[in-house]
Structure 1
Amino acid sequence: MEQQKTAPPEVLKVVKWLRSSKSGIKIRVGILNGKRIDYFKGKSAVKALLSPGYAKLKGVPPQPKTEEEASAQLLAMIPFAFFLRVERGASSGGSSSPKHLQIVQQQTFQADMHFAWFYDGPQWTTYLGGAVMVGVILAGVMFPLWPPIMRLGAYYLSLLFFGLIGLFFAIAIFRLIFYIITVIVASPGIMDLP
């Protein structure tokens, strides 16, 4: 974490973009020291730096022209420990379960290697979501203390919600009956809505 604080602003912008879903890097989940962690293949990061999306960024180093230049740019980011080279081991369970990861001592960058993320970006959305969740739970627990007009409003909203659910069930039943009738009358049947 200390190395990340010393990173130049343009490197930090590139890392934030690479970490976002806009970059198109395929993220996989692995296990490092008993903790789930995201990792990616170097080839994905090279493709992301060569993509038109990177050219649209402002305040970042110029877009590399070749894969070698992109690899050199990513190699220059390794000392800041935003991502580190790892080796994949055996799967922790079945074929779809995460693989065990091990950090490699020799930190280099090549497109066929795997790299684990050690940068999560700003966590303000997590904190905001936690505060909202605590507020909703507290409001629900305090329901008996609500003023009568608010309790009446909550009652009518719940009736509206359950009525809407009932309407969806009625539409589904109607569509099923309509489909069965059209299968009998005009095979292969007519499905009225998607």
Structure 2
Amino acid sequence: MASRALRATVLVGLAGVLATGCGEGGGTGASGKPSEAVSGVSSPAVSGDPVSDKGLFAEKVRAAVDKRVGADEEKFGSGDRSPCSTSSSLVLTSTCGAAADATAVDAELALREINGSHGFATLDAVARKLVTSVRSYRDLGCATGPTAADTREACLVPAATIAQGFSDLHDGTVLGLSGK
């Protein structure tokens, strides 16, 4: 629920930035008419404009990662609806293991897409944390229904991170649009 609120807040803020434009003098051109950013008519980006190039790259990353994340989130669920949720009866089964594998693939895709580029700190941190959590989940043998109490308990930490992984990756792509 909190991730959806964050998503909504980021999208509203981003919409405001897009609607008002950057450096457009309050949304009107020299003639006093609404600027292109306000009127919805846009001109092509100036070639070599680093802001435009960064924006296009961020949108490319968002589109590629969100396409994959969206499909996996629809298949496995996210948060409390994930088989890896600590409250799920499937948290220590191969069903969560499959969701963990999909989460790792999505996180690795995000890392490949951003390829060390600046402006994706959140997405980079989220993806790296997910790769580490999936590795821990696998190394502990969590998907095989461990019987030792200490192992079962240790599995809950990476499982909780994995359960939130699809939402966190999506949020990271959205924040990447604003260089965060």
- What range describes the TM-score normalised by the shorter chain of this pair? under 0.3
Which structure has more relative contact order (CA 8 Å, sep 6+)? It is 2
Rg (Cα) greater in structure:
1
> More strand per residue: 1 or 2?
1
TM-score by length of 2: 0.22
TM-score by length of 1: 0.21
> More helix per residue: 1 or 2?
2
